[in-house]
Amino acid sequence: MSEIVKAEHRDGIATITVDNPPVNALSAAVRRGILERVNAAVADSKVQAIVLTCAGRTFIAGADITEFGKPPQPPSLHEVIDALDASPKPIVAAIHGTALGGGLETALGCHFRVAVKSAKLGLPEVKLGLLPGAGGTQRLPRAVGPELAVQMILGGNPISAAEALSHGLIDEVVDDTVAGGEAFARKVLAEQRSLRRLRDDDSKLAAARADRSIFTNAVAAMTKKARGFEAPFACADAIGAAIDLPFDEGMKRERDGFLKLVVGDQSKAQRYAFFAEREAAKVAGVPEGTKPRPVTKVAVIGAGTMGGGIAMSFANAGIPVTLIETGEQTLQRGLGIMQKNYEASAARGGLPPDAPAKRMALITGVVGLENVKDADLIIEAVFETMAVKKEVFSALDAYAKPGAVLASNTSYLNIDAIASVTKRPQDVLGMHFFSPANVMKLCEIVRGVQTAPDALLTAVTVAKAIAKVPVVVGVCDGFVGNRMLAARSNQAEKLLFEGALPQQVDAVVTKFGMPMGPFAMGDLAGLDIGWRSRQDRGIKSEIADALCEAGRFGQKTGKGYYAYEAGSRAPLPDPEVETLINDTLAKLGLKRREISDQEILERMIYPMINEGARILEEKIAARPSDIDVVWIYGYGWPVYRGGPMFYADLVGLKPIAERLSHYAKQTNDPSLEPAPLLKRLADEGRTFASLAKGG
């Protein structure tokens, strides 16, 4: 019988334990083991009740995602759950860690559920572009009611054991899974409780059956931000079937929905993104056995927008942080902004009322760089010029203790140049947070030529500890994300000189699934920043310059590429801008032409892919999937499209290379010619993904 699933008998209770590290995923061996053990316990006359629990750090965290796309192996999860449900003997699921997806569905097939206080229970399939495909859309609404079921399944976020108890998802909170589970089983036997089969209990569906708006309102609330995603709507359809149909018919509706999603491009992209994020945190080229340096004290230099956001990220993770400024006034202003941020979140219900005070208590503001002396990690977030960075790092070199990691939050400056002013280049690297730093998850970890492997691992470990998604990148202008963004912005600007309007370009990009188009993004960031930089470098860009000369800096001045009504950030197409563009083109002797949305889409996305190929050639990124993680978590690339490089593989590198060559000639822009790597893979009929398998 299975060793990955063991059974122990104590006083008539058979305790079945799954032991499949790291997360007890429901591989074929686990499914087989559970089924064998349950059938044996049911057949054993000495067994009166059964407990199902797990070894290691968590209860079953779901189906084995690595099995998707491969031929299914028996027994199916449905068979396992049906056997639990049909057992004539009471079965108690004893939960710790995270009972997720198929794990929670397995527990829902049991008659009772107990959990330790720290446990979390959820159905996150929607985050993989799926729906709970083993009865979750039919049993969870019967366990907790349709409203909470809609929130849990369409949101994909777990609830705590306490919430689960209050909604009837579990029967008891216990101190220990095995002892607690067995004690509960004995109580069930002593009280001769009837077995609670959720499939037979429609009581919590009655209200929504009488007034379906209870369900439709819950769905409307949870699909406000689901534009472009398929899974949330499929989840809603399956839950709706639990309300409208008998259990077995609802199960069929769920199955049909699952089978459609699992073969679709969106779920393939979202499952790819799940593993890509985890792969990115495995730093390539670090000697086996390298350990991160211990970090207990963190200091952030600069209480401006970025420094404040970074400090908040630590406080949000419950990690104390020292925030250092050179002047009391700038320090207090920065602390004040953070306090207001927290209070605004709490006022919106995004934080508990006591959170602002608790989190601000974790941020110690001080004046003077000498206060870094005890810090294990120092993150500099001062003014973005090389001169200032060098001045600060030179001072840090003098004050920081040996072995402290010195990180710059620079968004494009050369880390090696910054490191060169210190006597410890091995301790210097970049931690490029994305604004707003307390919200955006991406952190580009910039590896300098001399950055030590353990320093790199330290930054990656700390980034994960503050719930960021770290991606290690090399030194170049713009690293990975901003370098590819520049390729897109360059084309966006050219399209204006050829006849497109900002609103047409932005509409194509937002329809593709990006949260914002390039021109609305420019208005948000402020057009004056680019204007000053072009003036410093003696570069002209007639349309953007003309906008700035007219004082149109973007949202901050109420006008940029768009107009903005007072108090609103909604970009409104502005006829004045069209006139300005027409006048500028007339001055330059240029004529506007009709440009198709398809051409705009290709000239927005393909140059980014081309730049991504160059980034891989130059080893600025280790993997194509690392580039995709940067774009999903740093720029809001729609996760259901997997990232620029995943998308390129879907479209096909050959057609992309052909279109790039076409545009290079059409616009007389050699930079659009396919990069050598892209051309080679296209000629060989390969994908970027094939690089991950070597070559």
Q: Which residues are catalytic?
A: 105, 125
Provide the 3-class DSSP secondary structure of residue 115.
strand
90/132 with CB nearer ligand T1G: 132
User: What distance in Å separates the CA atoms of residue 198 and residue 110, rounded to the nearest whole number?
Assistant: 9
Q: Which residue has the tokens 């927005």?
A: 604
**Window of 8-16, 21-29, 224-232, 239-247 that interacts with ligand T1G by CB under 6 A:** 21-29
Closest CB to ligand T1G among residues 83, 527: 83
**Secondary structure (3-state) at 470:** strand
The answer to whether residue 61 forms part of the interface with ligand T1G (CB under 6 A) is yes
Using the rule CB under 6 A, is 77 a contact of ligand T1G? yes
Contact 292, 454 (CB under 8 A): yes
Long-range contacts of 592-598 (CB under 8 A, 24+ apart): 592/498, 592/499, 593/498, 593/499, 594/499, 595/495, 595/498, 595/499, 595/500, 595/504, 597/504, 597/507, 597/508, 597/511
Of 263 and 344, CB closest to ligand T1G: 263
Nearest to 643 by CA among 108, 375, 276: 276
If the CB atoms of residues 132 and 181 are measured against ligand T1G, the closer one turns out to be 132
**Residue from 1, 10, 66, 220 binding ligand T1G (CB under 6 A):** 66
Q: Is 63 one of the binding residues for ligand T1G (CB under 6 A)?
A: yes
Shortest distance, CB of residue 66 to ligand T1G, whole angstroms? 5
Q: Does 276 bind ligand T1G (CB under 6 A)?
A: no
Question: Can you tell me which of 18, 24, 64, 145 binds ligand T1G, judged by CB under 6 A?
Answer: 64
502 binds ligand T1G (CB under 6 A): no
Counting residues that bind ligand T1G (by CB under 6 A) gives 25
Distance CA 372, CA 618 (A): 35
* Helix axes of 77-86 and 28-43: crossing angle, nearest 10 degrees: 20
Give the angle 225-228-232 at the CA atoms, nearest 5°: 65
CA 484 to chain centroid: 19
One-letter amino acid for residue 519 of the chain: F
Instruction: Give me the phi and psi of 565, to 5 degrees please.
Output: -75, 155
Residues 135-164 that bind ligand T1G (CB under 6 A): 136
Nearer to ligand T1G, 128 or 469 (CB): 128
Q: Which of 35, 83, 128, 392 binds ligand T1G (CB under 6 A)?
A: 128
Residue of 22, 289, 575, 670 interacting with ligand T1G (CB under 6 A): 22
Q: Is 574 in the site for ligand T1G (CB under 6 A)?
A: no
For residue 632, give both structure tokens. Answer: 């999903």
* Residue among 33, 102, 356, 517 that touches ligand T1G (CB under 6 A): 102
Q: Are 431 and 408 in contact (CB under 8 A)?
A: yes
Q: Which two tokens stand for residue 538?
A: 């003696």
What is the number of alpha carbons within 13 Å of residue 238 lying toward its C-beta?
36
Closest CB 134 distance from ligand T1G, rounded Å? 4
Which of 33, 62, 129, 356 touches ligand T1G by CB under 6 A? Answer: 62
Which lies closer to ligand T1G via its Cβ, residue 77 or residue 682?
77
| Shortest distance in whole angstroms from residue 258 CB to ligand T1G | 7
Q: Which is closer to ligand T1G, CB of 102 or CB of 478?
A: 102
CA–CA separation, 99 and 512 (whole Å): 34
Does residue number 134 form part of the binding site for ligand T1G (CB under 6 A)?
Answer: yes
**Interface with ligand T1G by CB under 6 A: which range of 20-28, 168-176, 404-412, 591-599?**
20-28
Residue 522 makes contact with ligand T1G by CB under 6 A: no
If the CB atoms of residues 135 and 146 are measured against ligand T1G, the closer one turns out to be: 135
Distance CA 103, CA 34 (A): 12
By CB under 6 A, tell whether 260 contacts ligand T1G: no
Of 33, 90, 101, 307, the one binding ligand T1G (CB under 6 A) is 101
Other C-beta atoms closer than 10 Å to the C-beta of 556 total 14
Which positions touch ligand T1G (CB under 6 A)? 22-23, 25, 61-66, 77, 98, 100-102, 105, 124-125, 128, 130, 132-134, 136, 275, 278
